[in-house]
Structure 1
Amino acid sequence: MSEQPLRLLLAGEGGIAGVHMRVLGEIPGVEVACLVGGDEADARTFAAEWQIPEVVLDMDTALTRDDLDAVILATPSPRHADQAERVIAAGKHLLCEIPMALSLADAERIVARAEASDRVCMVAHTRRFNPPHRELKRRLAAGEFHLQHLVSETYFFRRENLNMQGQPRRWVDNLLWHHACHSVDLFAWLLDDPEPEAWGSRGPDHPELGIPMDMSIGLRSRRGVLATLALSFNNRGPFGGFYRYIGEEDTFLAFRDELEDHRGESVPLSGSGFLDQDREFVAAIREGRAPEASFSSCLPSMRVLDRLQRSMASSQA
């Protein structure tokens, strides 16, 4: 007898919601049954494109439904913590887009709620699932590669409040809690070191958006491995997160799901970060286990971000 389809509620109709829809279509036995939209016209356009049968604008009403098993939060970052708490309280499994919260206090609150529940609660830390990073973590664990310095470059052009598609955005992105979070968590996960030393500095705030547009962050593991993070919303391209693994044996360049050695030769890999991430969420629900990138496992990285925020604020004073 075949398994019952897993029926999902997707919250959000932006660019990352489209990424989830694309990969969910490759996972058998999964159905996105309902979309919670922030803007009705955009939501209905999105639902029509992806053949989602129902659109609602009130998440709380949707969360009362017994025919929906799990929720994917692909909403604006400032809403994540409050919405995650409501999803957990409703007894639904949850995959929350990064970041889980924009403050340590909010992160600790929702992690406590997640730990008290029997639901799968996972954060979309996609770097943990990209094949290049998984392969290098494997090599590190096996003693095949000894990392000396991880250099992360995160570049976007956000001088106007636009989203991934160049459309006006109704909320303001966050360079530290969103984009640096990817690389801080990656470094801690790679080295199994949840509390690396951390320091950083930030450029001036944008006069209209009210956020720093550039950051420089340093990390050091307890074994002395370094990470250098350069982040900018002022860069005109190319966009995305670029990683240079400088090690004893070789230097590797990772971008999305591709890995090259120092000669520019491709390292054969299989898998897809977004697909493997969403597949893990579905598998954890079906197998009744904790997922990779559970809320609890991601909390230490939020503590590092809090330390960075406080140190940057004091240095700017």
Structure 2
Amino acid sequence: MTSPIRILMVGEGAIAGIHMQALASVPEARVVAVVGGDAQGARRFAEHWNIPHVCADYTQALATLEIDAVILATPSPLHADQAEQAIDAGKHVLCEIPMSLNLADAERMTARAREANTVAMVAHTRRFNAPHREMKRRIRTGEFHLQHLVSETYFLRRENLNMQGEPRGWTDHLLWHHACHSVDLFAWLLDDFDLKVWGGRGPIHPELGIAMDMNIGLKSRNETLATLTLSFNNHGPFGGFYRYIGEENTLMAYRDELKDYQGEVMTLEGVGFQEQDAEFIAAIRECRVPEATFSHCLPTMRLLAKLEKIMADVC
């Protein structure tokens, strides 16, 4: 019997819990240790998920634990440095989105991963959600001719709280995190990362120091459009909502559900996070490049850097 891939989970928050749920369906994976930013929280996390080891120091854990891979479920500002540490330690890495908060870091960590010949993947989960995979299939086969993708991303982040309503020690980013999902999705759907981009942002929050609202436009080489609306000021359901407006139909996607304009839900198989984390483990097993490897996600980071400059110039 083949030994399981031994994983160090870095982070003890909500997204780390989602990864644990996903990995429960991947028998080839075993989380053997957790490193947390909060010692008490990390111990609770380990007890809840039956993880044998709790470590306080990430660098030490990389140096002393018998692990094969690292999952970075940590604050966005830490992703680039932590990913490079894992790569330098000879570990495979699955980094939560975004891979970094600027293009320079993304380029550096991509080069580092390429030199190390390691499996280095970003959690661009939209690429693995069943509705978007189905829409990519239909677009490729010519069953669906996309005219306009409309993406709405909503959260209420007027206070620095996480998705569980708990205080957060870092500030989320509307462009580099949440817009990253939808910009990458559109480019990936059409296999076109040479997009025309434009956009604007609302005022900077006086305490959080970030823009709370954005609108973004994208246009592919074949003149297909995408319109992205993003807000941290929204009351109501949160998450990413996608409307595929095509010649043949209008379809709506939310998480792993796809329905038509009349509300009829379509039968699809697969859960995005499970498919994503299974791909990471399979790529390690098969010694191959995974979907959403660092180098495949770098073009999206270049598009975000263009948008950041455009928004700064406009404002």
Scaled by the length of structure 1, what TM-score is found? 0.98
Who is 2:115 aligned against?
116
Distance in structure 2 (CA, Å) of the matches to 1:200 and 1:281: 33
Who is 1:240 aligned against?
239
Distance in structure 1 (CA, Å) of the matches to 2:21 and 2:285: 21
Deviations 1:210-248 (A, max 9, x none): 100000000000000000000000001110000000000
Output the amino acid matched with 2:91. K
1:263 deviates by 1.2
Report SS of the residue matched to 1:199: strand
Q: CA RMSD in A?
A: 0.7
Who is 1:225 aligned against?
224
Q: Unpaired segments of 5 or more residues in structure 2?
A: none
Q: Unpaired segments of 5 or more residues in structure 1?
A: none
Output the amino acid matched with 1:268. T
Who is 2:204 aligned against?
205
Output the amino acid matched with 2:138. R
Who is 1:171 aligned against?
170
Distance in structure 1 (CA, Å) of the matches to 2:26 and 2:84: 27
Distance in structure 2 (CA, Å) of the matches to 1:211 and 1:86: 28
1:65 deviates by 3.3
Output the amino acid matched with 1:71. V
2:137 is equivalent to residue 138 of structure 1: yes
Output the amino acid matched with 1:252. L
Deviations 1:169-190 (A, max 9, x none): 0000000000000000000000
Q: Which aligned pairs between 1:122-161 and structure 2 lie closer than 5 A?
A: 122-161=121-160
Output the amino acid matched with 2:194. E
Who is 1:20 aligned against?
19
Report SS of the residue matched to 2:290: coil
Residues 110 and 294 in structure 2, CA contact (< 8 A), matched pair in contact too:
yes
Residues 215 and 230 in structure 2, CA contact (< 8 A), matched pair in contact too:
yes
Who is 2:57 aligned against?
58
Report SS of the residue matched to 1:293: coil
Give % identity. Answer: 66
Who is 1:32 aligned against?
31
Deviations 1:233-286 (A, max 9, x none): 000111000000000000000000000011111111000000000000000000
Output the amino acid matched with 1:259. L
2:311 is equivalent to residue 295 of structure 1: no
2:118 is equivalent to residue 89 of structure 1: no
1:30 deviates by 1.4
Output the amino acid matched with 1:286. R
Distance in structure 1 (CA, Å) of the matches to 2:28 and 2:314: 51
2:306 is equivalent to residue 307 of structure 1: yes
Report SS of the residue matched to 1:64: helix
Who is 1:283 aligned against?
282
Distance in structure 1 (CA, Å) of the matches to 2:128 and 2:108: 26
1:29 deviates by 2.5
1:119 deviates by 1.1
Distance in structure 1 (CA, Å) of the matches to 2:64 and 2:113: 20
Who is 1:100 aligned against?
99
Who is 2:182 aligned against?
183
Distance in structure 1 (CA, Å) of the matches to 2:142 and 2:193: 20
Residues 79 and 100 in structure 2, CA contact (< 8 A), matched pair in contact too:
yes
Distance in structure 2 (CA, Å) of the matches to 1:139 and 1:71: 34
Distance in structure 1 (CA, Å) of the matches to 2:246 and 2:82: 41
Distance in structure 1 (CA, Å) of the matches to 2:245 and 2:28: 41
Output the amino acid matched with 2:127. R
Number of aligned residues: 315
1:66 deviates by 5.9
Deviations 1:28-71 (A, max 9, x none): 12110000111101111111111111111111111113620000
2:264 is equivalent to residue 269 of structure 1: no
Output the amino acid matched with 2:117. D
Report SS of the residue matched to 1:152: strand
Cα gap change, 1:134/1:280 in structure 2, threshold over 3 Å: closer, same or farther? same
Who is 1:259 aligned against?
258
Residues 28 and 281 in structure 2, CA contact (< 8 A), matched pair in contact too:
no
Distance in structure 2 (CA, Å) of the matches to 1:11 and 1:125: 18
- Greater Cα offset, 111-120 or 89-98: 111-120
Distance in structure 1 (CA, Å) of the matches to 2:65 and 2:176: 33
Deviations 1:98-125 (A, max 9, x none): 0000000000000000111121000000
